[in-house]
Chain A
């Protein structure tokens, strides 16, 4: 399978008469773009904003991030989600780089939503402050979940994907500045040189804990809670086969943008043919019942054995209950003779004194840590808030609170905030970007 991702580097974004990409400038016809957003009757209010690195703007509640793209030859960027099912990971897809579409609730937030500071001290906590962003800030008539802590955010997330596809069309007829080519030979047809290198797979554990549909990550539109671990080509992940869900405390989240760019996959590709023989992706999941966890770990280990995998990177979208899946999978692989490295975050508490993962096992002897979900973060007021700052305290964001004996509310009268890292949008960058680790103090 061969995938060509054509890159168009976005240097600036502005509103104008016609949606077009020219010489690094993405111009957006706001009215036309909003028509795309309003195609869903459930969207009641919507606006578009542009934010750039260094802007003293705070975004909250942020629900999703998506890289705008265009699938050459037509077809949905997210097969099985924004259009018909088709094979992802083959052919050519054009990407607007250094930018994302961010989806922000105009009022209502929830457990799974997060915060982004584009400038100031808070900017260091998230990847998205380093991008130019088109912000869709909108409200919906999904009243059934307005006051619920867990929100599916369906209308908003899908509006974000439509918008990303609409913006992607700006490069429909243009030649990319450069192209990343991703190709792996079929497993049984690889060269002798490749076969002599250690076989490496990446095991992904996307978030799938909710029994009810509408919250979990989707695999070609299929709820990952309802799947058994399956073998996938890495190109599929990079090309829209997976979309993010709406459940996990936000710093542990993989946004759809993260799936599209998954740095661990891209980095393994660089090693392919040099130091490793990159086998592909074993797509697992994170379910709550013990038997489901054990079944998934068993499937992963079986696949690794059957494929002749020598070493694997296991990475988990979440913490807490899913740590059992994470450690269980690492142990099952080690028991099958596969050398593992794990990539995830920790939950050591505000004082740093708690057990880092819910379950631990000495066999998980090579772990990369990307952050502490419960680290307290204090940030000064910003010049502007897009969305509603009060949502951080009022709506049960995983890192926010309404009242605390010592700390008071997460949102102060002057607009400054105190929160747990939990509410930082994709703050632990578990997909691989994290410049953070965990240290003893």
Chain B
């Protein structure tokens, strides 16, 4: 039999009400309160109940999470439930915090239930499965039924359907999906077009998400004191590509020492080349400075127009590289640059 662990707050864990909301985390090797309902509905045994006061989790999040993860490290479980939290904001945030941490630490499915008004939904729906729930504990049975039904599908290895069919809040995670009726794209396109022409309702298959735009930083007034780094997504690397950066869909980046170099020497002289598969490499292989302009920067350095060119340039490949990987690599590189006291970056693409 598979095993489940349930997280409840002080109230549903039968410790008490608001007066004991500071209750420190505890774990019990039994089914407490709502955990009994879970046990009835699940194709798994609830072996442990974790209980924590909402205020304790809210004010000492790090400590609470650490304590609970420590409880769980010797517990053998296949699935983790938190809540239902209904419309209770602190409880919802607590379910999210601990759910996210358990997911990351133990890589088991984590499922919760919250009312749409619960702030926990917006914050944590990307991290764990959260199902829409009722306003209050009157909906306890319905809400637990919903999430245990879904939990059972996972436990039994059944095929999971898209979010809108399973019913959990959409998480911004998009995968390709073979339509059951195999309606080809041309039928869907004509259908959508006719609806749009006729002013009928239609549903885009790609609803445009909110854009994550970064504000442009204020200009630097005096460059003569500034250390500037060159960072590229143009795939310029030493000819042996020591960091094995992929030619497309990159997940790796490299940093290469250019101290003492007046310019980047080219592929023919066995120095630098591009491994980027998304553009014609001829010009960059012949002269890598067209992508990473070390030559021009040295000139500026000599003329005193900039303080200093940073001793390393950073490189990855932009083609096919997902925005998420790009953001991660960008953060990692930015951290290095900050640690090295670089004040400005010239980002070159292809």
Contact = CB atoms under 8 A, between A and B. Distances in A.
B246 A375 contact: no
Interface in A403-429: 403, 420-422, 429
A435 B194 contact: no
What is the size category of the interface that chain B forms with chain A? 35 or more
Contact of B247 (A353, A373, A396, A403): A396
B147 to A, nearest CB: 16
Interface stretch (B294-302, B315-323, B335-343): B315-323
B174 A439 contact: yes
B204 A367 contact: yes
Interface in A206-249: 209-212, 249
A348 B190 CA distance: 25
Interface string B271-284: 00000011111100
B276 to A, nearest CB: 9
Contacts of A364: 206, 208
B320 A211 contact: no
Contact of A433 (B185, B196, B208): B185
28 contacts: A111-B248, A150-B280, A212-B282, A249-B248, A264-B186, A288-B350, A321-B278, A341-B196, A343-B186, A343-B189, A346-B174, A348-B175, A349-B325, A354-B322, A355-B324, A360-B209, A364-B206, A366-B193, A367-B204, A367-B205, A368-B185, A371-B176, A374-B320, A432-B185, A435-B179, A435-B185, A438-B205, A440-B173
A372 to B, nearest CB: 4
A175 interface: no
Contacts of A170: none
A439 B218 CA distance: 39
Interface of A: 111, 124, 149-150, 198, 200, 209-212, 249, 263-264, 266-268, 271, 275-276, 288, 310-311, 313, 319-321, 339-341, 343, 346-357, 360-362, 364-375, 396, 398, 401, 403, 420-422, 429-430, 432-441
A333 to B, nearest CB: 12
A432 B184 contact: yes
Interface of B: 126, 160, 162-164, 170-179, 182-190, 192-194, 196-197, 202, 204-206, 208-209, 211-212, 244, 246-249, 277-282, 319-320, 322-325, 350
Contacts of B160: 441
Contacts of B192: 341, 366, 368
Contacts of A198: 197
A365 B208 contact: yes
Contacts, number: 203
B320 A373 contact: yes
Given A368-B185, A421-B176, 10 more contacts: A124-B178, A267-B190, A320-B278, A339-B197, A343-B189, A353-B322, A354-B324, A360-B209, A371-B176, A401-B246
A441 B175 contact: yes
B320 A369 contact: no
A438 B206 contact: yes
B323 to A, nearest CB: 4
A365 B204 contact: yes
A311 B171 contact: no
A348 B178 contact: no
- The 10 closest A-B CB pairs, nearest first, are A432-B186, A439-B162, A349-B322, A354-B322, A435-B182, A355-B323, A367-B206, A352-B173, A439-B177, A440-B170
* Residue of B186, B202, B204, B282 with most chain A CB atoms under a 10 A cut-off: B186
A356 B281 CA distance: 27
